[in-house]
Amino acid sequence: MSTGAVTTNEAQKIEIGLLLKNKVIEKGRRKQACLSLNGRKIDLVADYRDKPYLLLLHNHTDSYPTKKPHYEQRINLVAIPSNIGRGEILYFVCPATGNRCRILYRCYGSKIWKSMAAYKRRIYYPSQICSKKDYWTTLYLETESKVSRLLERKESQREQATYKGNLTKFNQRLKKEMDKLEYFDKMRNG
């Protein structure tokens, strides 16, 4: 039985990290792209020059095909100097709250993209709404997915395991995730 609660996996979301990784947003450039979110296409313009912004062109209805008008939403971007002194970290400025965020969501019938904190109804993480019986299994499956992505990366980049006798940062992270995976497996089966 559905409670009507939306999880981060069910809601449409735009992550700034993925936009940067896929070079949709590039410093000093203005680019156009098309995103596919849950089977729906959203056109966007990413401008990372003087006053960086993201312009989203989308249709707020779920009917397909539709003759209703498309809506434009401008989302400002802000770059904050990194705490380690090298480079900067890019954030969305939430149109509803004005707060910085790294992920924007659209759910609960909202016409605009906004941060998780801007919704009156809560957006849950999957592990927050599963039953007690499924809690450890959910954590196990999430961690298993992380481990498989890390192993794929290690395979493709031929990561070196140690440097000067110590585990590299990447391999420390992989070991930590594998230890968590083992713990969650023990908890779900025992």
Ordered DSSP codes for 125-176? PHHHHS-HHHHHHHHHHHHHHHHHHHHHHHHHHT--SEETTEE-HHHHHHHH
pLDDT reported for residue 59? 60
pLDDT reported for residue 92? 95
State mean pLDDT over 119-129: 87
SS3 1: coil
Quickly state the pLDDT bin for 2 (edges 50, 70, 90): low
Query: pLDDT at residue 60 above 80?
Result: no
**Residue (of 17, 14, 86) closest to 56 by Cα position:** 14
CA distance 36 to 34: 7
pLDDT reported for residue 63? 44
User: Is the peptide bond between 52 and the residue preceding it cis, with omega within 30 degrees of 0?
Assistant: no
Quickly state the pLDDT bin for 10 (edges 50, 70, 90): confident
Tokens 């990784």 locate to 21
Point out which residues pair with 151 in neighbouring strands. none
